[in-house]
Structures are given as C-alpha cells and as structure tokens.
Chains A and B, each alone.
Chain A
Amino acid sequence: GQNIDQPTEMTATEGAIVQINCTYQTSGFNGLFWYQQHAGEAPTFLSYNVLDGLEEKGRFSSFLSRSKGYSYLLLKELQMKDSASYLCAVNSNSGYALNFGKGTSLLVTP
C-alpha cells in the first residue's frame, strides 16, 4: 500500500520559520506535491518536487530526498493567514493520481 506520514498539528509564531516534514513509502514515485488547504476550502497547489534538492518559491520552499523517502515544506516569515492544513501528496504512478497524507494543521499565533 501507500503510506504517507506527516505530523498532525504544529504551532508557530508570526514572523518565525516552520518546517513541516513528510515521509512516504509508496510503490512508485513520480513526484511529490505540497498543497495548502484552509478549512472548508479546496486545496491550493504550493510546490512540486521530483528530483532531490530544494525548490524555493518566495516564502515557501520544499525539499526532497528520494533515497530517504522524505520531504519537508519550509515556511518563512510566517503570517497569520498561513494558518491552514498542509497536505503532502505523492504521485506514485504515471496516471497523475495522488495519494495524500492526513495533513498537518498549522496554527500561527501572534
């Protein structure tokens, strides 16, 4: 089966940096995605990694190590609006279907 693990909850302070980890064990690997989801809304795309290394996009960066089955999402200069659930998802085949982790609920406090 597919196994994708993330911490359930995290809390961080406005202006700080937070790292959300994701480990995966899947039958195949064709890329890893991070999505942001606010309560009651649809997920929105944040980042994509298919090769090892760090992808930086503004305040958000994502890292991948395929040999370790590990990724993290790094959020810098946290803002209150960053309070949301962050979903790690793996495409394990060529058909683009995604397997999602349970999501990490991030609370940003003043």
Chain B
Amino acid sequence: GAVVSQHPSRVICKSGTSVKIECRSLDFQATTMFWYRQFPKQSLMLMATSNEGSKATYEQGVEKDKFLINHASLTLSTLTVTSAHPEDSSFYICSASGTGAYNEQFFGPGTRLTVL
C-alpha cells in the first residue's frame, strides 16, 4: 500500500512554456501533499505544502505565481511551472501523508524537468 505516482516522469520543454506535473496517491487519501525540488547531488528542498481544498503554503523564496499548486481532491495535487526557464530544470518530487503509522511521507517517483 501507500503508493504515490507522478506524471510525467520526464519532460523537456522550451523556455517560456508551462509544464504541469501530476501527483496521485493511488491507494489512500492524502490529507497533505508536499512538493520538493532536488538539484543534482543536493538534498530535497521543500517548495510547498498542499492541503486538499485550501491554498498551498509556500516556503520562503518560492514564487507562488510561478509554481502554481492545485490540490483538488484527496488523491490528486498538481504543480504547474509557469513560464519555465533553464534554471527551473530540476528533479521535482511530490509526497503524500495521511496513512502511515508515523505520518511518514510517501514519495512519488519524481519528474525530471529539462527546460531548453
């Protein structure tokens, strides 16, 4: 149990375009979902925390107008990178909590975004 999926796994886009990444909890209802970004050989940096039906809480330094998060249901959250630029190229990982014995987060497989 506790499977989280992400789609797409890889995406290449041109500078200035927008990219949407989906995160789904497949076998449980996620009360909270999280979005992280990870640069090569760096740790996961929390971007935002998302609760179903409410606005996401963004970490300091993360532009909420650039990284749009929608958490429409207890099993789906989306991250849209608007007007993407090469510096946005990174590994984006979502996680969900709500079913673990320790409220641990279950991570999706990640999305590799490359902006040309």
- Are A and B part of the same complex? yes
Which of B46, B97, B107, B112 is within 8 Å of A43, CB to CB? B107
Contact: B109 with A96, CB < 8 Å?
no
- Which stretch from B14-22, B63-71, B79-87, B98-106 is at the chain A interface? B98-106
**Shortest beta-carbon distance, B76 to chain A, in Å?**
17
Question: Is B54's CB within 8 Å of the partner chain A?
Answer: no
- The number of chain A residues with a CB under 8 A from chain B is 23
Nearest to B112 among chain A residues (CB) is A40
- The number of chain B residues with a CB under 8 A from chain A is 24
Which of A33, A45, A48, A87 is within 8 Å of B43, CB to CB? A87
**Shortest beta-carbon distance, A88 to chain B, in Å?**
9
Contact: B103 with A96, CB < 8 Å?
yes
Query: In B40-78, which residues have CB < 8 Å from any A CB?
Result: 41-46, 49
Q: A55 CA to B24 CA in the complex, in Å? A: 31
Contact with B along A33-47 (1 / 0, CB 8 A): 101000011111100
Contact: B43 with A103, CB < 8 Å?
yes
Contact with B along A85-100 (1 / 0, CB 8 A): 0010001000111111
**Shortest beta-carbon distance, A89 to chain B, in Å?**
8
- Asked whether A97 and B46 contact (CB < 8 A) given A42-B107, A42-B109, A44-B107, the answer is yes
Which of B42, B49, B109 is within 8 Å of A97, CB to CB? B49
**Shortest beta-carbon distance, A79 to chain B, in Å?**
22
Which residues in B have some Cβ–Cβ distance to A below 8 Å?
A: 4, 32, 34, 41-46, 49, 91, 93, 97, 100, 102-110, 112
Which residues in A have some Cβ–Cβ distance to B below 8 Å?
A: 31, 33, 35, 40-45, 48, 50, 87, 91, 95-103, 105
Having A45-B106, A48-B104, one finds 16 other A-B pairs with CB under 8 Å, namely A33-B105, A42-B108, A42-B109, A42-B110, A44-B107, A45-B104, A87-B44, A95-B32, A95-B49, A96-B49, A96-B97, A96-B103, A96-B105, A100-B44, A100-B45, A102-B43
